[in-house]
């Protein structure tokens, strides 16, 4: 099966490409700018304009749609770009499109999440047989957030916010399995094995880095805070991944991520 992967240069794309190759798929990767890669066919295409999509989809049987733009032109790329991709995929006779979304897009009032939810709806209403996987946050994202929250010294955040970080490689494994299984016409969720409070995640991060930065508790107000504290970013769906936040910290810093 020839599979087109959008957003192939991102964190999840880098995990998916070798797994697809090893699974016997013929892989065509796309990003906005051309890249050199001896193991996959790499083309340039732009979801925001539609440039290159017809060429990228020529001869493709399935699409793994990872591309997203959280910080700029989000509606243009995530919503309208997904619609452009579906129209082009339908013309090319694509038999299955798998879209990657985020756990909580239907519960957490963030602008980016509203766009991801709208993109899910575009996929479900579109002409191409589909499956959607909502994943929780990657541990690398959580770590980037902690670094940003500690720029002024203490780690600033709401201690009771809940997260359920999931390893990108395990998400990639699930996506390969979904492609092999064919269209489900359903939204599935996938998460890490452990629900963490923000303060516990901070403590493990500090221990792994041998840092003594204190946690400065700041309660997130309003609907957003209530959604994050009540588990809007988590799921009870099983099975889950197996790699924990402590595993990520041990790989990154050595040790266990705990005292």
Q: What's residue 183's pLDDT?
A: 98
The C-alpha angle with vertex 204 and arms to 14 and 206, in degrees rounded to 5, equals: 95
Contact of 133 with 188, CB cutoff 8 Å = yes
Q: What's the average model confidence in pLDDT over 8-18? A: 95
> Which domains does the chain possess?
2-136+168-190 (3.40.50.720)
219: confidence class by pLDDT, cuts 50, 70, 90 = very high
Q: What's residue 38's pLDDT?
A: 67
Q: What is the pLDDT of residues 16-43, one digit of tens each?
A: 999 999 999 999 999 888 777 667 899 9
Contact of 183 with 130, CB cutoff 8 Å = yes
pLDDT for 224 beyond 80: yes
In terms of DSSP bridges, do strands 196-197 and 162-163 run parallel, antiparallel, or are they unpaired? Answer: antiparallel
Contact of 136 with 191, CB cutoff 8 Å = yes
Q: What's residue 187's pLDDT?
A: 98
CA-based torsion, 99, 77, 68, 56: positive or negative: positive
Q: What is the pLDDT of residues 140-192, one digit of tens each?
A: 999 999 999 999 999 999 999 999 999 999 999 999 999 999 999 999 999 99
pLDDT for 12 beyond 50: yes
Contact of 163 with 122, CB cutoff 8 Å = no
254: confidence class by pLDDT, cuts 50, 70, 90 = confident
Q: What is the pLDDT of residues 50-80, one digit of tens each?
A: 999 999 999 999 999 999 999 889 999 999 9
Q: What's residue 78's pLDDT?
A: 97
Compute the mean pLDDT over every residue in the chain, rounded to the nearest whole number.
95
pLDDT for 258 beyond 50: no
Contact of 57 with 16, CB cutoff 8 Å = no
255: confidence class by pLDDT, cuts 50, 70, 90 = low
Q: What's residue 257's pLDDT?
A: 44
pLDDT for 259 beyond 50: no
Q: What's the average model confidence in pLDDT over 203-210? A: 95
Calpha distance 210→44 (Å, rounded): 43
**Is it true that the peptide bond before 152 is cis, omega within 30 degrees of 0?**
no
Q: What's residue 1's pLDDT?
A: 94
């Amino acid at each position: 099966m020839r599979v087109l992967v959008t957003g192939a240069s991102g964190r999840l794309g880098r995990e998916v490409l070798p797994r697809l190759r090893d699974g016997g798929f013929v892989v065509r990767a796309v990003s906005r700018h051309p890249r050199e890669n001896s193991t996959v066919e790499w083309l340039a295409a732009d979801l925001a304009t539609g440039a290159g999509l017809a060429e990228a989809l020529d001869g493709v049987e399935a699409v793994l749609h990872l591309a997203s733009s959280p910080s700029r032109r989000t509606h243009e790329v995530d919503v309208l770009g997904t619609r452009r991709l579906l129209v082009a995929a339908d013309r090319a006779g694509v038999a299955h499109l798998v879209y990657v979304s985020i756990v909580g897009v239907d519960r957490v009032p963030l602008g980016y999440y509203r766009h991801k939810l709208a993109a899910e709806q575009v996929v479900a209403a579109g002409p191409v047989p589909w499956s959607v996987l909502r994943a929780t946050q990657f541990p690398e994202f959580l770590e980037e957030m902690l670094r940003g929250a500690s720029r002024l010294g203490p780690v600033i955040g709401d201690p009771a916010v809940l997260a359920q970080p999931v390893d990108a490689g395990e998400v990639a494994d699930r996506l390969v399995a979904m492609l092999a299984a064919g269209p489900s016409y359903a939204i599935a969720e996938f998460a890490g094995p452990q629900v963490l409070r923000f303060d516990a995640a901070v403590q493990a991060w500090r221990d792994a880095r041998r840092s003594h930065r204190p946690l400065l508790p700041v309660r997130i107000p309003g609907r957003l805070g209530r959604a994050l504290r009540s588990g809007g970013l988590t799921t009870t769906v099983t099975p889950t991944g197996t790699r924990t936040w402590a595993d990520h910290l041990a790989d990154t810093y050595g040790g266990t991520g705990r005292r």
